[in-house]
């Protein structure tokens, strides 16, 4: 019978932890989305609207009725965008997929500890699925964030501040998106490479490396 290498053991434990966290995150995300759709989002924006009465401008003076009305319109538009995002079938679909991939990783990790051949196969394919789903989710989130941030930038008092805010937010978004993609592809790419090595495959077939 093959002996499990330290590398396989480490990856198995990491998959169990990551899969459990991903599965829990999917459940929490679904719960948060449900709360938002059941009035939580509307209540939060209503609280923000009531605070406009006490809000002050850059000069330290209370906002004029016209400024308050403009901000209410912007808040309303942002609320509609967020409500649309949380209730979209795409959001629900990707949340379910993340949960299923987390469950697959959890099961694969347990199977790897027992050196089951199907566990190695499942590990590789859940990693491929995680890359595809993760890239899709990140690009979708990026596009949605762009729309929301544009509405925030439009609220700047002058063109110079709008340009400065836009550059700052775009830099932060590009950095965040790039880092997310590198981590996503790096983690799962390494996983695919490791479990396709001949010496690792041999542990699951009972043959000498």
Summarize pLDDT for 196-205 with one digit per residue, the tens: 999 899 888 8
Q: Is 191 within 8 Å of 123 (Cβ atoms)?
A: yes
Task: Return the number of other C-beta atoms located less than 10 Å from residue 102's C-beta.
Answer: 23
Percent above pLDDT 70 for the chain: 53
pLDDT of residue 120: 94
User: Per-residue pLDDT for 92 more than 90?
Assistant: no
Reduce the secondary structure of the chain to three states and give it as a string: CCCCCHHHHHHHHHHHHHHHHHHHHHHHHHHHHHHHHHHHHHHHHHHHHHHHHHCECCCCCECCHHHHHHHHHHHHHHHHHHHHHHHCHHHHHHHHHHHHHHHHHHHHHHHHHCCCHHHHHHHHHHHHHHHHHHHHHHHHHHHHHHHHHHHHHCCCCCHHHHHHHHHHHHHHHHHHHHHHHHHHHHHHHHHHHHCCCHHHHHHHHCCCC
Of the two residues 145 and 162, the one the predictor is more confident about is 145
Burial class (CB in 10 A: 0-12, 13-18, 19+), 81: middle
Summarize pLDDT for 12-56 with one digit per residue, the tens: 999 999 999 988 888 787 766 655 555 555 666 666 656 555 555
Nearest to 188 by CA among 22, 2, 4: 22
The structural domains of the chain, with segments of one domain joined by +, span 6-205
**Stated pTM of the model:** 0.69
Nearest to 189 by CA among 139, 123, 98: 123
pLDDT of residue 128: 95
Round the average pLDDT of the chain to a whole number and report it: 76
Of the two residues 103 and 45, the one the predictor is more confident about is 103
Give the mean model confidence (pLDDT) for residues 146-171: 60
d(CA 160, CA 67): 19
pLDDT of residue 110: 95
Summarize pLDDT for 73-85 with one digit per residue, the tens: 766 666 666 666 6
Task: Return the number of other C-beta atoms located less than 10 Å from residue 180's C-beta.
Answer: 16
User: Per-residue pLDDT for 98 more than 60?
Assistant: yes
User: Per-residue pLDDT for 209 more than 50?
Assistant: no
Q: Is 9 within 8 Å of 113 (Cβ atoms)?
A: yes
């Amino acid at each position: 019978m093959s002996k499990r290498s330290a590398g396989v053991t480490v990856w198995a434990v990491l998959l169990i932890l990551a899969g459990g966290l991903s599965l829990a995150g999917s459940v929490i995300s679904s719960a948060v989305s449900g709360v938002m759709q059941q009035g939580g989002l509307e209540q939060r924006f209503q609280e923000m609207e009531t605070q406009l009465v006490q809000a002050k401008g850059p000069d330290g003076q209370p906002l004029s009725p016209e400024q308050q009305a403009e901000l209410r319109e912007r808040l309303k538009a942002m609320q509609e965008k967020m409500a649309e995002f949380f209730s979209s079938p795409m959001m629900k679909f990707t949340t379910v997929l993340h949960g299923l991939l987390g469950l697959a990783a959890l099961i694969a990790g347990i199977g790897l500890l027992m050196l089951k051949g199907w566990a190695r196969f499942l590990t590789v394919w859940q990693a491929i699925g995680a890359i595809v789903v993760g890239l899709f989710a990140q690009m979708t989130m990026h596009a949605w964030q762009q729309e929301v941030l544009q509405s925030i930038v439009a609220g700047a008092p002058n063109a110079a501040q709008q340009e400065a805010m836009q550059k700052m937010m775009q830099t932060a978004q590009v950095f965040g998106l790039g880092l997310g993609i590198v981590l996503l592809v790096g983690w799962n790419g390494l996983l695919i490479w490791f479990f396709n090595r001949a010496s690792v495959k041999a542990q699951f077939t009972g043959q000498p490396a």
